[in-house]
Structure 1
Amino acid sequence: MWDLIWSICCSSIIFVVFKLFDTYGVDTFRAIIVNYFTALGVGLLVYQQPVFLQELPQKPWFAGALLLGSFFILIFNLMALTSQRMGVSVASVATKMSLVIPVVAGIALYKEQISPVQATGITLALAAVYFTSMKSGGRGIRKELRALILPALVFLGSGVIDTSIKYLQHTRIPQVEYPLFSALVFGFAGTTGILLLFFKKPKGATRFNGVTILGGIALGVPNFFSIYFLLRALQFEGLNSASIFTLNNVAIVMLTTLAGIVFFKEKLSLKNWMGIFLAVISILLISLF
């Protein structure tokens, strides 16, 4: 369970760092690129074994890491935009409501069994995520179609990423290679980001200032460990993947919402507190039963 707790903490830090990017004027796209190469370096340090480049394409998970890495850079930028334009809690909610996708996949693909009590907990978790996201004015995520585009894309993308991680963990990746797999995912993401940067703005592609580099490093360390510890948590025999993803996501929503209050003076309404209460109940139902 400690692996799950550490993954939750690291994922929550990511949303806070995104918000700080906006506060300190960090170039988000370049910082995300630095973040990925930072995560690559951290992963290679954690792996602590020699890496032979010519052998990597033979790994059964190599193609999956390549595709995930290319997808990561897109979703991460959408998460950053959502966090900055609509608030930390909305970005967190859009990401974590996507737990529905891997939960359904776990039941359909891996024949995972969910007890009635756990199903109730998952339902309460979804309600908790919604209520926790609602702004103090009571509107929550704005209902205009244009305002829903960013959260909807983050929702779908995050669900696909979580489902893919579970599939690769379940079918392709030996536990000893978790750090190497995570490192290569981030390495491919960083490489994709560099290519996109030169494609979009070739004249300004080398403008990485000190603030951007520091921001990228601050993001990269928790980003690596959020994936690494999630992979380890999915090995836990006491809970199936549906329960793991639900606990992970609803706890992140709670922490990021509270972080928004403490660090960014975001206000909580009665519905927000109701969401936090439901989140606690859902965690108890899923983890204890």
Structure 2
Amino acid sequence: MIYLIFSVLASSLIFVIFKLFAKYNVDTLQAIIVNYVVAAVSGIIAYSEPVQITYITNQGWFYGAAILGIVFISVFNLMAITTQRNGLSVAAVATKMSLAIPIIFGVIVYQESTGILKITGILIALVAVYLTSSKTTEGVSLTKRNLIFPLLVFIGSGIIDTSLKFFETHHVAANDVSIFSATIFGFAAIIGVCTLIYKRINGTLKLQLKNVIAGIGLGVPNYFSIYFLIKALRYENMDSSTVFTINNVAVLLVSTIAGILFFKEKLMLKNWIGIGLAILSIILVTFSI
């Protein structure tokens, strides 16, 4: 449970840092790419064994980690497009509602428990995600033309969580969690750096020190959010469906509270109802263990 708590805190810190990006006009793309480099380096530093390229490339998880790295940065860009075209609430809901995918995967593939408390808690969690994430009086609105972007965010985010569970179960040894995480971020960093080089060649890149500093600040909690999530998934007494439900809802809850305390965000009645339901869902899912 302690790993799950640490994962929630690290993930919530990421949202707080993103808030600061907007306040200080940080170039999000540049900061994200630097963040992936820092996250990869953090994983290498945390790895207790000597880093050997031949060892890494021979692991069963290597190609999966490479694909996940590409998916990581792709989903981020899709989130940015979704935010621009459909609004922040749509992007937030699409990201958090994706918890349904790993939950269904865990129940079908790993025959995880589905008691009445757990099912009720998961359903309430989905409602809580919608109500807490929706910050406009109109609710979450979509246009037919731009529906593809939140749909891809939903699927991509679900694939990431599901893949982490799959590789953790079948391929990643306990001592390799750090280097597995570092490899994922490393491939995301490679794609990102190639993007920066392309922008530099085209003369559209203006690298600023504040973006680099912001990326460094984001990279460490980003690494630990994945590292601790994988460690939480290894806990034998807690199903992945329970882990993902508690993690996603708790992150939304903590980041929302942080927004109120540190950024003076105003919430509507439905947001407060969502917070109450989020707390209830965590209690129900936790007691279903």
TM-score bracket, shorter-length normalisation: over 0.9
TM-score, normalised via structure 1 length? 0.92
Counterpart code for 2:210? V
User: How far off its partner does 1:112 sit?
Assistant: 1.3
For structure 1, which segment, 31-40 or 255-264, has the greater mean C-alpha deviation from structure 2 after superposition?
255-264
Counterpart code for 2:92? S
Contact 2:233 2:239 in 1 (8 A): yes
Who is 1:195 aligned against?
194
Who is 1:135 aligned against?
135
Aligned 1:151-230 pairs, distance under 5 A = 151-204=150-203, 207-230=206-229
For structure 1, which segment, 98-107 or 200-209, has the greater mean C-alpha deviation from structure 2 after superposition?
200-209
Deviations, residues 123-177 of structure 1 (Å, cap 9, x unaligned): 110011111122252x222233356554333222100100111110011000110
**How far apart, CA to CA, are the structure 1 residues paired with 2:55 and 2:150?**
39
Contact 1:28 1:80 in 2 (8 A): no
User: How far off its partner does 1:16 sit?
Assistant: 2.3
**How far apart, CA to CA, are the structure 1 residues paired with 2:262 and 2:250?**
18
Counterpart code for 2:281? S
In structure 2, relative to structure 1, the CA distance for the partners of 1:219 and 1:82 (3 Å cut) is farther
Who is 1:270 aligned against?
269
**How far apart, CA to CA, are the structure 2 residues paired with 1:240 and 1:5?**
15
**How far apart, CA to CA, are the structure 2 residues paired with 1:7 and 1:76?**
19
In structure 2, relative to structure 1, the CA distance for the partners of 1:243 and 1:57 (3 Å cut) is same
Contact 1:44 1:179 in 2 (8 A): yes
User: How far off its partner does 1:232 sit?
Assistant: 0.3
Unaligned runs of 5+ in 1: none
For structure 1, which segment, 77-86 or 25-34, has the greater mean C-alpha deviation from structure 2 after superposition?
77-86
User: How far off its partner does 1:281 sit?
Assistant: 0.8
Q: CA RMSD in A?
A: 2.1
TM-score, normalised via structure 2 length? 0.92
Contact 2:89 2:140 in 1 (8 A): no
For structure 1, which segment, 262-271 or 97-106, has the greater mean C-alpha deviation from structure 2 after superposition?
262-271
**How far apart, CA to CA, are the structure 2 residues paired with 1:263 and 1:89?**
20
**How far apart, CA to CA, are the structure 2 residues paired with 1:191 and 1:136?**
37
For structure 1, which segment, 7-16 or 65-74, has the greater mean C-alpha deviation from structure 2 after superposition?
7-16
For structure 1, which segment, 225-234 or 16-25, has the greater mean C-alpha deviation from structure 2 after superposition?
16-25
User: How far off its partner does 1:198 sit?
Assistant: 2.6
For these two proteins, the number of residue pairs brought into alignment is 288
In structure 2, relative to structure 1, the CA distance for the partners of 1:83 and 1:266 (3 Å cut) is farther
For structure 1, which segment, 260-269 or 175-184, has the greater mean C-alpha deviation from structure 2 after superposition?
260-269
Percent identical across equivalent pairs?
49
Deviations, residues 16-42 of structure 1 (Å, cap 9, x unaligned): 222322221212111111001100111
**How far apart, CA to CA, are the structure 2 residues paired with 1:120 and 1:110?**
20
Unaligned runs of 5+ in 2: none
Counterpart code for 2:111? K
